[in-house]
Amino acid sequence: MHDLTHNFNDCSDVTLDTLLSVLSALSSACYVSLPITQFLTLSPVILDVRSPAEFAQGHIPGAVSMALFSDQERAQVGICYKQEGRDAAVERGFAIAGPKFAGFIAQANQLAPDRQVRLHCWRGGMRSEAVAWVLGMGGFQATTLVGGYKAFRNWALAMPQVPCQVLVLGGMTGTGKTDVLTALAARGEQVLDLEAIASHRGSSFGGLGLPPQPTNEQFENAIALQWSQFDPQRPVWIEAESNRIGCCRLPEALYQQMQQAPVLELVRPQAERLALLVDVYGFASTSDLILATERIRKRLGGLRTQAAIALLQERRLADAFELLLIYYDKAYDYDLQRRPVPIDPVDATGQPPTDVATQLIARSRQLQSGYDPVGQPVRLDTPLANTAVDLPR
């Protein structure tokens, strides 16, 4: 192994034809390639050998970046390809990557002590083949993804079209929907927590105290992976959302399923809602709360905005939030009236999330008979549509 890595550290002295012939002869013995559906069912760590910028834009959730080229190196190879052609670009790529091969094996040893890895590049081409070959020579059992990350993206974009028995958890701001979703998940219910995936609570105040939001591409990827793991014969609980959570936009197919799903609406008295909001946002600085309030000035109105800001400056948070709820309650009512679906109120007054979850589970059992065998809500005034979805394999 030392001799092998030593030779590749000096790969600039090796002819392109020699490198390619060696790679072609040995690659089939060093790794196997699987389509996306089989690739995702395996358990070994996923190594993403694309550049750091490509990885940051979006990646398979749980994957680890092990870039064959840096962003600058990838640009160099691309320029070489355009100016000098494929052969020169391939040779340039080997010259850049060769000295890194020993490091790839060392990094893989840390990430995969069992010496089994999955890996991919953008299209399942030479980048993943080269790294798979190197790791194979280092004693690893490598599995590459047919079609690369592009194949995963096609799969991820199609996944939300698969119908599930969606139940929407509604309720005005401050009714504790997120805590109830957590309680449902703890009871073994299927939950898609969109706000957790988006790292945003959905309102102008939604980003306070949370990590930066993912890219929209990564948001879609995370949704798709979770969606693929749900049992279509069981309900999937999703909090009522607009089609955008902060800067993350919901996949259209998922949003349409949510719009057509029954709503179980949490109801709490305003005093409880205000106490919950103070508990959630009380940590935030006055300046951050004022900035979030300013963002909805046009919708809240100038006078109410100024009054709310004055209350925030005095740290009278409950009083300030009471003014803000005038806007948020109106927006919620407007959205609810547009939904042509059953809305079932659930009284959560004075109840902890665990007790509310118990109520909701009981209600959901009663609703389950209202779905067809593939999970579409049954509408008495419309025929069932063909719900078959052709997913990339």
CATH number at residue 256: 3.40.50.300
Alpha-carbon gap, residue 130 to 97, rounded angstroms: 9
What average pLDDT does range 350-368 have in this prediction?
92
Percent of the chain with pLDDT over 70: 86
What average pLDDT does range 138-157 have in this prediction?
96
Question: pLDDT at residue 40 above 80?
Answer: yes
**pLDDT for position 334:** 84
Q: Which of 49, 32, 39 is nearest to 130 (CA)?
A: 49
**pLDDT for position 161:** 96
Q: Which of 59, 231, 32 is nearest to 129 (CA)?
A: 32
Examine the domain organization and report whether 24 and 137 are in the same domain: yes
CB contact at 8 A, 169 and 261: no
Examine the domain organization and report whether 91 and 189 are in the same domain: no
Examine the domain organization and report whether 219 and 365 are in the same domain: yes
Question: pLDDT at residue 65 above 90?
Answer: yes
The last residue of a domain, from among 156, 171, 205: 156
Q: Which domain holds residue 350?
A: 163-370
Examine the domain organization and report whether 35 and 72 are in the same domain: yes
Percentages helix, strand, coil for the chain, rounded to the nearest 5?
55, 15, 30
Catalytic residue among 121, 164, 247, 248, which? Answer: 121
**pLDDT for position 142:** 95
CB contact at 8 A, 223 and 160: yes
Q: Is residue 66 part of a domain?
A: yes
Q: Is residue 389 part of a domain?
A: no
The one-letter amino acid code at 120 reads H
Q: Is residue 121 part of a domain?
A: yes
**pLDDT for position 384:** 29
What average pLDDT does range 290-300 have in this prediction?
95
Structure tokens at 290: 């004022």
**pLDDT for position 160:** 97
**pLDDT for position 338:** 83
Q: 121 catalytic, yes or no?
A: yes
**pLDDT for position 97:** 87
**pLDDT for position 353:** 97
Q: For 79-116, how does the pLDDT look when each residue is reduced to its tens digit (9 = 90+)?
A: 998 999 888 888 888 899 889 999 999 999 999 999 99
Please state, rounded to an integer, the average pLDDT across all residues of the chain.
Answer: 88
Res. 54 pLDDT band, cuts 50 70 90: very high
Examine the domain organization and report whether 124 and 184 are in the same domain: no
Bridge partners (DSSP) of residue 267 are 347
| Range of weakest confidence among 27-36, 173-182, 383-392 | 383-392
**pLDDT for position 181:** 98
The H or E element containing residue 201 is none
Q: C-alpha angle with apex 75: 73 to 78, nearest 5 degrees? A: 115
Q: Which of 293, 288, 278 is nearest to 324 (CA)?
A: 293
**pLDDT for position 17:** 57
Quote the number of domains for the chain: 2
Q: Is residue 384 part of a domain?
A: no
What average pLDDT does range 181-207 have in this prediction?
96
| Range of weakest confidence among 3-7, 109-113, 134-138 | 3-7
Q: C-alpha angle with apex 129: 125 to 131, nearest 5 degrees? A: 125
| Range of weakest confidence among 85-99, 128-142, 316-330 | 85-99
Structure tokens at 360: 């909701």
The region that residue 140 occupies, defined by phi over 0 for left and psi between -120 and 50 for alpha, beta otherwise, is: beta
Examine the domain organization and report whether 230 and 362 are in the same domain: yes
CATH number at residue 24: 3.40.250.10
Examine the domain organization and report whether 254 and 129 are in the same domain: no
Alpha-carbon gap, residue 191 to 223, rounded angstroms: 11
> How many CA atoms within 13 Å lie on the side-chain side of 149?
25
CB contact at 8 A, 33 and 146: yes
**pLDDT for position 335:** 83
Percent of the chain with pLDDT over 90: 75
Q: For 201-217, how does the pLDDT look when each residue is reduced to its tens digit (9 = 90+)?
A: 999 999 999 999 999 99
**pLDDT for position 25:** 53
Using CA atoms, how far residue 165 sits from 88, 251, 258, in Å, is 54, 17, 10
**pLDDT for position 336:** 80
Q: Is residue 244 part of a domain?
A: yes
**pLDDT for position 21:** 57
Examine the domain organization and report whether 139 and 173 are in the same domain: no
Q: Is residue 361 part of a domain?
A: yes
Strand order across the 116-120 sheet? 31-34, 141-145, 116-120, 45-48, 64-65
Q: CB atoms < 10 A from the CB of 63, how many?
A: 19
> How many CA atoms within 13 Å lie on the side-chain side of 125?
5
Question: For strand 235-239 and strand 244-245, is the pairing parallel, antiparallel, or unpaired?
Answer: unpaired
Q: Is residue 390 part of a domain?
A: no
Alpha-carbon gap, residue 180 to 176, rounded angstroms: 6
Question: For strand 31-34 and strand 141-145, is the pairing parallel, antiparallel, or unpaired?
Answer: parallel
Question: pLDDT at residue 1 above 50?
Answer: no
